[in-house]
Amino acid sequence: MSLTLSLVIHNHQPVGNFDFVFAHATERAYDPLLAALERHPAVRLSLHYTGPLYDWLIAHRPDHIERLRALVARGQVELLTGAYYEPILVSIPDADKIGQIRKMTRFLRETFGYEATGMWLAERVWEPHLPKPIAEAGVRYTLLDDTPFKMAGLTDDHLFGPYVTEEQGYTLTVFGNVMYLRYAIPWHPLEEVMDWLQAQAQAHSGGVAVMGDDGEKFGLWPGTWDLCWGEEAWMERFFAALEAESGWLRTRPLGEVAAEMPPLGRVYLPCASYEEMMDWTLPPHDFAAMRRVRRELRDAGRADILHFVRGGLWRAFTARYDEVNQMHKKMLWVSRKVQRMPEGEEKARAQDHLWAAQCNCGYWHGLFGGIYLFHIRAANYANLIAAETIADKTFRGQETWAQPERGDLDADGHEEIILNTDRQILTFKPSYGGALVEWDWRPGKYNLLNTMTRRREGYHAELLTAAEEGRLVLPGQPDRPDGIRVKEPDIHTRLFHDWYRRVALLDHFLHPDTTLDAFYRCQYGEQGDFVNQPYQPEIKKDPAGITLVLTRDGTVWVGDRPVPVEVEKRVTVVPGGDLVTVLYRLSHRSDTLAVVRFGVEFNWGIVGGGGERAYLRVMQGRQRTPRHPSALGEVREVTVFTIGPLLPEPVGEATLTLSRPGTLWHFPLEAISNSEAGYERVYQGTCTLLWWDVVLEPGKSWEVTLQTSLVELSL
């Protein structure tokens, strides 16, 4: 009777995460694990660190790198390669897949003298085409969750050895990551885990059991410090038990097993990830239904059916969230530009920014925040803008320039128009209200429209039910078996859901009874058909700059009377400038007077917009009215407002000047997100609506000019 246990621990912090998070994770999870391995030299395993974490450790905790190097040198730890910046491999071009893996492999060789031949697959997101680029990058084996194996018809008893899969003849060895071990370590009683391993040794003598999971669960996740390293010392007792039972239970790095154990067979695995990820991709109603179905089948002991039940495809995140899709397709757009660059130092620099922008955490949403983490989105955009700026300078050459670009950037079947200058990149969707959906400021490497639309999430139903039944648990209160943790008592009353995408230059015709509170809740009357409807574009270019003219002939209901109204917005940018000028012209062909309430909406992405450093300065003539981006408010007779900061460092701000005074409504966009610590409000941006009561006379037009200037500020 014998069994090999291959433990694979994956340590990750994303590009753009805060220094204190890196430090806390190192002190609570990464350092203690190395210390335990140093105390238990007979416990051998595989470790994977992502590139952003390696970069931080080298700069801030070189002692951790030295300790890791010693463990590798004595053969106790195997290092796994992977795509350096931890992208979801299926989401990036093959050239970037191969390039990122080779970058990590080269780093491990140069830093640790270790030649890695196995890899960690980010979020274990698998699609059948992956063996080819992975093998081309020099990787021989990887591990996946047991989910795709079971979807392919295998059972738990079939997972005690490797399989081989292939694409176009390129082979890859794959191991199944056992769900029981992933859930049991470190939460189940140690005796139960050891009994399970002994039972498998009897049933599958000579086989291997694989457990691969996040290193953060060993000390960083809520409650795990005391469990793993504190009074319960679960991991210390576990390592001691593994050494004590070495007569029948061997711990070995996965690479040794891959080199010595022949494949059990050939397998072709469907698109999959871990079970939770596939559920998170589902629409809200289906998410709740899937959780209910899984629970009912487990309670009924129907494992024979359960392994055929699957959630959604990871790629569905780009369909569910316009913001994910925008950033993802921008990444592909920039990747194509970088690939066209001539080989050399500049291309390598652009490529590294591009790869950093592919870090996966901003491209999906689950229990851990994902796309709702503002600073992670900001970091991805900063790297995308840096990469595109390097590529554009390579192709443009001259110091100042302005050039329009056209194409279906977001892959929705409709053309986008990009006003591209040496200072700014403005992306418009004529098919969607003629809206400005991305506004990149090159000097600050910042997307001013980095916001999130307020959406219904599958877990919101759980929050509402718990609130109705009085099961909310506040910070400091004791846990209860049926309780739902929340960070504030009335958080369920802040669930608002938008029916349109929160971007900029959105054109509204509001019912005259619309209030600020109703607009904030997105429960108001829209009397026109302009917000998300198509506009006709025309580009005009001359040496002075580029003007995009967007026009829509639509309808506004005035009382019970439909009035044909034309909205024209002319957006102008100039070479070398940080100004954007928008001229609005409203006219109608009716032979009677029409009074309408017209508004223009901007949604601003403000880093730290919910904190003390953020500001909203409003001018009423010569009088300054201080406000805050996270406040709900109304200011009349506004002529100028300034919002910032756009960047943590250096600080920048945006100032919008009106040619005629208008009323300003402003409020925060806040997502109600769930995490390990409970439900919380998370600031996602600030909405500003400028509106006017407009009298449209037959044969005449009404105009207003909005000019935005972007300014860098010294600290």
Instruction: Find tokens 């871990």 and name the residue.
Output: 274
Is the pTM higher than 0.85? The answer reads: yes
- What is the rounded average pLDDT of the residues 415-426? 97
CATH number for the domain spanning 180: value is 3.20.110.20
Domain termination residue (choose one: 263, 279, 304): 263
Instruction: Answer whether residue 14 is part of any domain.
Output: yes
Q: Please indicate, yes or no, whether residues 207 and 116 belong to a single structural domain of this protein.
A: yes
Reported as a single tens digit per residue, the pLDDT across 46-81 is: 999 999 999 999 999 999 999 999 999 999 999 999
Q: Which long-range contacts (CB under 8 A, 24 or more apart) does 120-123 make?
A: 120/8, 120/10, 120/48, 120/80, 120/81, 120/82, 120/212, 121/82, 121/89, 122/82, 122/83, 122/86, 122/87, 122/88, 122/89, 122/360, 123/88, 123/273, 123/274, 123/277, 123/314, 123/360, 123/364
Q: Please indicate, yes or no, whether residues 151 and 20 belong to a single structural domain of this protein.
A: yes
Q: Please indicate, yes or no, whether residues 256 and 370 belong to a single structural domain of this protein.
A: no
Angle at 196 between CA 194 and CA 197, to 5 degrees: 65
Taking the C-alpha atoms of residue 579 and residue 648, their distance in angstroms, rounded to an integer, is 21
Q: With cut-offs at 50, 70 and 90, classify the pLDDT of residue 83.
A: very high
Confidence (pLDDT) at 100: 98
Instruction: Answer whether residue 201 is part of any domain.
Output: yes
Taking the C-alpha atoms of residue 197 and residue 281, their distance in angstroms, rounded to an integer, is 33
Confidence (pLDDT) at 24: 97
Taking the C-alpha atoms of residue 210 and residue 228, their distance in angstroms, rounded to an integer, is 20
Q: With cut-offs at 50, 70 and 90, classify the pLDDT of residue 626.
A: confident
- What is the rounded average pLDDT of the residues 97-106? 98
Contact 390, 353 (CB under 8 A): yes
Instruction: Answer whether residue 277 is part of any domain.
Output: no
pLDDT above 80 (res 418): yes
Give the phi and the psi of residue 342 in degrees, each rounded to 5: -65, 150
b/e per residue 463-487 (b: at least 16 CB within 10 A)? beebbeeebbbeeeeeeeeebbbbe
Q: With cut-offs at 50, 70 and 90, classify the pLDDT of residue 85.
A: very high
Instruction: Answer whether residue 480 is part of any domain.
Output: yes
- What is the rounded average pLDDT of the residues 404-415? 96
Instruction: Answer whether residue 296 is part of any domain.
Output: no
Q: Please indicate, yes or no, whether residues 124 and 231 belong to a single structural domain of this protein.
A: yes
Confidence (pLDDT) at 650: 67
Reported as a single tens digit per residue, the pLDDT across 321-336 is: 999 999 999 999 999 9
Reported as a single tens digit per residue, the pLDDT across 597-618 is: 999 999 999 877 778 888 999 9
CATH number for the domain spanning 537: value is 2.70.98.10
Q: Please indicate, yes or no, whether residues 467 and 554 belong to a single structural domain of this protein.
A: no
More confident residue, 303 or 418: 418
- What is the rounded average pLDDT of the residues 525-535? 96
Q: Please indicate, yes or no, whether residues 529 and 632 belong to a single structural domain of this protein.
A: yes
pLDDT above 60 (res 534): yes
Q: Please indicate, yes or no, whether residues 553 and 586 belong to a single structural domain of this protein.
A: yes
- What is the rounded average pLDDT of the residues 228-254? 96
Confidence (pLDDT) at 57: 98
- Provide the pairing of β-strand 77-79 with 45-49: parallel
Q: Please indicate, yes or no, whether residues 100 and 148 belong to a single structural domain of this protein.
A: yes
The neighbour count for residue 18, using CB atoms within 10 Å, is 10
Check if 345 is active-site.
no
Identified catalytic residue from 55, 86, 123, 422: 123
Query: How many domains is the chain built from?
Result: 4
Confidence (pLDDT) at 625: 86
Instruction: Answer whether residue 439 is part of any domain.
Output: no
Q: Please indicate, yes or no, whether residues 342 and 222 belong to a single structural domain of this protein.
A: no
More confident residue, 544 or 118: 118
pLDDT above 90 (res 240): yes
DSSP string, 393-434: HHHH-SSS-EEEEEE-TTSSSS-EEEEEESSEEEEEETTTTT
Q: Please indicate, yes or no, whether residues 80 and 124 belong to a single structural domain of this protein.
A: yes
- What is the rounded average pLDDT of the residues 134-142? 98
Q: Please indicate, yes or no, whether residues 14 and 63 belong to a single structural domain of this protein.
A: yes
Domain termination residue (choose one: 219, 242, 263): 263
Range of the domain at 350: 319-397
Q: Please indicate, yes or no, whether residues 150 and 257 belong to a single structural domain of this protein.
A: yes
Taking the C-alpha atoms of residue 668 and residue 516, their distance in angstroms, rounded to an integer, is 12
Check if 216 is active-site.
no
Q: With cut-offs at 50, 70 and 90, classify the pLDDT of residue 630.
A: very high
Domain termination residue (choose one: 354, 378, 397): 397
Q: pLDDT > 70: what percent of the chain?
A: 99
Q: Which stretch of 283-292, 451-460, 703-712 has the lowest confidence by average pLDDT?
A: 283-292
Instruction: Answer whether residue 196 is part of any domain.
Output: yes
Reported as a single tens digit per residue, the pLDDT across 168-211 is: 999 999 999 999 999 999 999 999 999 999 999 999 999 999 99
Confidence (pLDDT) at 480: 87
Q: What is the DSSP letter of 547?
A: E
Give Cβ neighbours of residue 253 (< 8 Å, ≥ 6 apart). 6, 44, 45, 46, 77, 78
The mean predicted confidence, pLDDT, of the chain is 94
Instruction: Answer whether residue 649 is part of any domain.
Output: no
Identified catalytic residue from 214, 488, 529, 634: 214
pLDDT above 80 (res 715): no
pLDDT above 80 (res 714): no
Q: Which long-range contacts (CB under 8 A, 24 or more apart) does 156-160 make?
A: 156/180, 157/203, 157/204, 158/264, 159/209, 159/210, 160/200, 160/204, 160/207, 160/208, 160/209
Confidence (pLDDT) at 648: 67
